[in-house]
Each structure stands twice: as C-alpha cells, then as structure tokens.
Amino acid sequence: MKAAIVTLHRVYNYGSVLQAYATQKVFEKHGCETSIVDYITEQRTLKRIFFKPPADPSIKGVKRVVYQIAKIGSLALKELTFGSFVQKTMRLTKRYVTADDLAVDPPRADVYVSGSDQVWNSKYNEGIDRGFFLDFVPSGRKKISFASSFGKSALDEWEKEQTRFYLSQYAAISVREDSAVEIVEDLGVQGAVQVIDPTLQLTKSEWQPLASPRLVKEPYLALMLLYNEDNGATEIARQIADERGLKLVKISWEMKKPEAVDKLFTHRSPADFLSLFSNADFVVTNSFHGLAFSLIFERQFLVVPRNEFNSRIDSLLSLVGLSDRLVKKPLDSNQSLPVIDYSHVNKALNAARLMRIDISTRRWVNKCLMYYT
C-alpha cells in the first residue's frame, strides 16, 4: 500500500526534519510504501524567507544590508546541510508550491497523510492551507492525519467553519496534543485520538545509524536552545560543565561563539545534531525535541523553560517522572543533582506512554490500513 505524506520536511530546524523522517519510518514499519510530498509553499521558500524583514525594527539602513548579507550565508548553509539530509533519507515526490498544483497533478497513493508537526498552524501558514488539509486528494481515496498539530490550544472564530469542513472528510484523525483532540471534538468531528510525537516512536537503535561519528573528543555538555531564548540556560550549563569537568558545546545558528561557550557547532546537519546528543555527557536545552532525544539516547539533562510553548515539555517530563529536571535558575551550591535512572524512565516510556498512546497509535494505524487489507 502506498502512503503519501504531507508534512513540514522543508522547515529547516532539527525537530521538523527529524519528525518528518520518523513519520515516514512509522508508516514503513506498518508495511506501507511511503513518499513525502515535496510541498513547499511560497511563504516557506528561501526567497520569501530572505526578504522577510528582521524582527527587530531598529535594524535598518546599513545594518539591514549587513543583516541580509548574513542571512544569505545562513540560508545557503541550511540548504546545504538540511537539504542534503532530506534528499538522502526521504523519498520525495516532485515539487509542489501551491494547493492548486497539488490538485492538478496529485501524487499517486492509496492513502494520503497530513502530519506530523504543526501542519494546521494558520499563523505559520498565513491562513488555512488547503494542501495541508489534503483538499487535493482524488475522490475515493482515504485521508488521514498523523500526530498533526494546530500549534495552539484554540482556533480563532474565522477558521473554525473551514477547518470543520476539511476535517469532516478524514477517515481517521490523530493529533499530537490533548488540546488538539479538544479542538477537533469542539468542531463536532468525532474519533480524534492523541498519539506521541513520531521521534519518540523510534528507538535509540533506529536513530543511531543516522548519527555522524563522534565530533568532540573530550567529555562535554551539549547546550541546545530554540531561538536563542536563553533565560539563564547558558549560566546553568556553564555551572554544570565546570562542576563536572566538561567542555561546554553549543548547537546553534549563531556565527560567533559566545564567550561562555568552549566550542560552537553552527549550521550543522541533523546527522551531526544526533551525534552531539548521543555522545553528550550532559544536555541543557529548552527544546521539546532536545528533551526527546535526551530521553532516546539516555542522557543526563536539564530543561530550562522557554518564554512560551512549554506544555509539551511539561507533559513529557511528567510522563517519565522527571518534572524536577525543569529548572529556572542555577543550582544552589549544596544542591545535588541525582543521576537519572533510565531503567525507570524506559519502563515509564514503555508502560505508560507506549501503552497508553502507542496502542491507540496502532489501533489508529490499523483502522487506516484495514481499508486496503
């Protein structure tokens, strides 16, 4: 059976690219022949990103020119590292840029999938994107969603009716957050289930072959922050690194190494990201996928909260009994940090998460596949 997946594989951050890879693998494990629909909307093209004005309005004149020149280099590096990974690890259809392109010549498949990730985020999509709601699917073919997300806890009034229309045409719906289940139910669409992020549905042994060889010879602490929202994370990381005799290694998009950091890995590939996490002696992060891969690779870690969007992190930490690993300030000098017992964590993952959510995943996937078996 052929499954065509519409996801965010060309959003060049580690979480988006690796979830796309994992989504493909989850369906392959259920016996599907998969392809990723190479759908890149106009607002996500490199040209559009390049001309997007800086978030800081004070950057103008000569500063704006320097900013744009620096952005050229950054975008080129992302295309080189992430684009290469996508090409090597994912089976792509031909390129589509608009929902109309998809409708005129849709990829051939038995079942069409939207997800995972924030494919239904109307803010990021600058409105409701019909392509991510599978409006192009030929009549008689099944539409399903896998761990899809709205990226928010409630819909705006203007988008409810159209979203209801599109979702009512799905044969099966799974979403990533419990809030998304509520959104779907509030629209009057029944049967939505919550499934875990696909990165966590692959095991350590399934991720390890993708990782680059070890990149840092010395023992080290890996610091990975989304959008450079520090909130004291660098200070916390420096404290732990010094106490444990570790080099402080930062994974970032910055071009200049921060003074507190021993080594900067900038614009590195997803394979390097996996290597830096799998070999780290300790991790400090504010990222959900930073947490996810810390758990997958059984690393010691701390999570520093972001300014917003922390609910997924809170939920996952609670699930594995590690809510105390969320910290907002440096540790007191007399405060000890217990070693994470991964026999307990893995038991919690396998028993609580994998049974509670992955069984629903299996039921959900089986429900989708039964149309063709």
Q: Could you report the per-residue pLDDT of 74-132, keeping only the tens digit for each?
A: 677 778 889 899 999 999 999 999 999 999 999 999 999 998 989 999 988 889 999 99
Mean pLDDT, the chain, integer = 86
Q: State whether 224 and 179 are in the same domain.
A: no
Q: CB of 248 within 8 A of CB of 238?
A: yes
Cα–Cα distance between 341 and 326 in angstroms, integer? 16
Q: State whether 146 and 229 are in the same domain.
A: no
pLDDT band at 372 (very low <50, low <70, confident <90, very high): very low
pLDDT band at 363 (very low <50, low <70, confident <90, very high): low
How many domains in the chain?
A: 2
Q: State whether 164 and 65 are in the same domain.
A: yes
Cα distances (angstroms) measured from residue 62 to each of 48, 55, 76, 254:
21, 16, 22, 20
Helices then strands, each counted (H, E), the chain: 13, 12
| Selection from 209, 206, 233, 172 nearest residue 365 by Cα | 172
Q: CB of 192 within 8 A of CB of 251?
A: no
Q: What is the dihedral of CA 317, 318, 324, 329, to 10 degrees?
A: 60
Q: State whether 180 and 240 are in the same domain.
A: no
Query: Which pTM was predicted?
Result: 0.87
Q: State whether 192 and 209 are in the same domain.
A: no
Domain range spanning residue 226? Answer: 204-340
Which residues are CB-neighbours of 71 under 8 A, at least 6 positions away?
A: 49, 50
- Give the pLDDT score at 55: 55
Give a yes or no: residue 347 inside a domain.
Answer: no
Tokens in use for 301? Answer: 């870690």
- Give the pLDDT score at 355: 38
Give a yes or no: residue 348 inside a domain.
Answer: no
261 pLDDT exceeds 60?
A: yes
Q: State whether 123 and 28 are in the same domain.
A: yes
Q: State whether 197 and 211 are in the same domain.
A: no
Cα distances (angstroms) measured from residue 134 to each of 34, 82, 102, 291, 302:
16, 25, 9, 31, 39
Give a yes or no: residue 155 inside a domain.
Answer: yes
More confident residue, 308 or 44: 308
DSSP 354: I
